[in-house]
Structure 1
């Protein structure tokens, strides 16, 4: 299978988002992935998920939020992240019309994908969460806000979810749900075990795209 790698900037109200887009000559679907709060699109688990998508001839778009494009490490407010994500989804939908989409990301990016999946048009056929941070870092009073409602809302909407987490993730691991499969691999929040992550994501994607394997290259 031959692939092209494109880098494109997508305008948003908060500055350009940058998309690294890898696609086959023929694609069976589109997977859009967002990064963690202080990281980027080269995180091991994002690369592993992308490799799993390659095996099923999905176009894979890894999205760098505007604050990271601008060189800032401190994450933007959630509302800005969500708005920028929606702009990217709209641009990619125009580029890949009538193509089934999987939305996802790691950590903060997984939260953005979950929030956006409820209102996305078209809705995704699945949501992939890598190292979903179920519990926020502890506040001064020791409490840890629960982010569970964000991922639970996707399950309640009937959208298939795969949650892949390290078994020693200090931010917790989501529980299985009616439409949510949970896979734990050895490791912590960084999810550096690329092989197990790739295998788990690949098996789940095969369920979303049954009968699809690598498509032949375009001559």
Structure 2
């Protein structure tokens, strides 16, 4: 099934929706990137094949042509109406909502998971700290998700390696850097398994 392009709350959303989707996965991009990175596309293909609806969200600042995201508070405020609008679409209200993204997008998803009503979070290449600056930890943002979280991190990522936790699984991709361009099949399979897992389905 071909995806549809939607304009929602100043964001641009590419929604791929298989028949009778059993979950809704909403993913967004890194700070200066878009929604057509290799990892997001691999996850899209695997998700649709597994009966998961997936929305890839180009955030408003990127739609406006800016490469640098706004501060966390306005960025989060722009993200939440997009997720809420997708949730209101027919057939999505009663399936698990999983939010996530890569890099800066993962930070947004973690910070807003509770407010968005997400059942779980997928954090791709979570930037635990700026390269070479481990003292500038963003672990508090990852912890703020407050729900089951899957982190997918390359073992060569200069932004650090997040720790596993009671509600957090960390999949380490050998040979991958911050782009997660290696191990695409592994990443996509892990995300699908997580979204369809009993621990996520139980949180509808």
TM over 0.5: yes
Report what 2:181 is aligned to: 192
- Which of residues 160, 164, 169 is equivalent to 2:157? 169
> 2 CA distance for matches of 1:79 and 1:174?
23
Q: CA deviation at 1:55?
A: 2.8
Between structure 1 and structure 2, the one with the greater Rg is 1
Q: CA deviation at 1:25?
A: 2.0
Counterpart in 1 of 2:6? Answer: 8
Query: RMSD value over aligned CA atoms?
Result: 1.7
Runs (4+) of structure 1 moved beyond 4 Å?
A: none
What is the TM-score with the length of structure 2 in the denominator?
0.90
Q: Structure 1: 5+ residue runs without aligned partners? A: 211-219
CA distance in 2, matches of 1:173, 1:206: 25
Say whether 1:41 aligns with 2:35: yes
Relative contact order, CA 8 A, sep 6+: which one is greater? 1
- Alignment deviations for residues 68-122 of structure 1 (CA, whole Å, 9 cap, x no partner): 11112122221221011101011111112222211010000000000010222xx
User: Can you list the C-alpha shifts for 1:107-139, whole angstroms capped at 9, x where unaligned?
Assistant: 00000000010222xx2221100000000246x
Helix, strand or coil for the counterpart of 1:98? coil
Q: Return 5+ residue gaps in structure 2 as ranges.
A: none
Q: Does 1:182 align with 2:173?
A: no
Distance 2:127 2:134 in 1: 15
Equivalence for 1:116: 112
**Deviation digits for residues 5-53 of structure 1 (CA, Å, limit 9, x no counterpart):** 1111112xxxx11000000121111000010001000111111222232
Greater mean deviation of Cα atoms: 34-43 or 190-199: 190-199
Number of equivalent positions: 196
CA distance in 1, matches of 2:118, 2:168: 14
Q: Which TM-score applies when normalising by structure 1?
A: 0.84
2:3 alignment partner, SS class: strand
Matched, 1:88 2:101: no
CA contact (8 A) 1:136 1:147 kept: no
SS at match of 2:79: helix
- TM-superposed CA distance for 1:143, in Å, is 6.9
Partner of 1:36, secondary structure, is coil
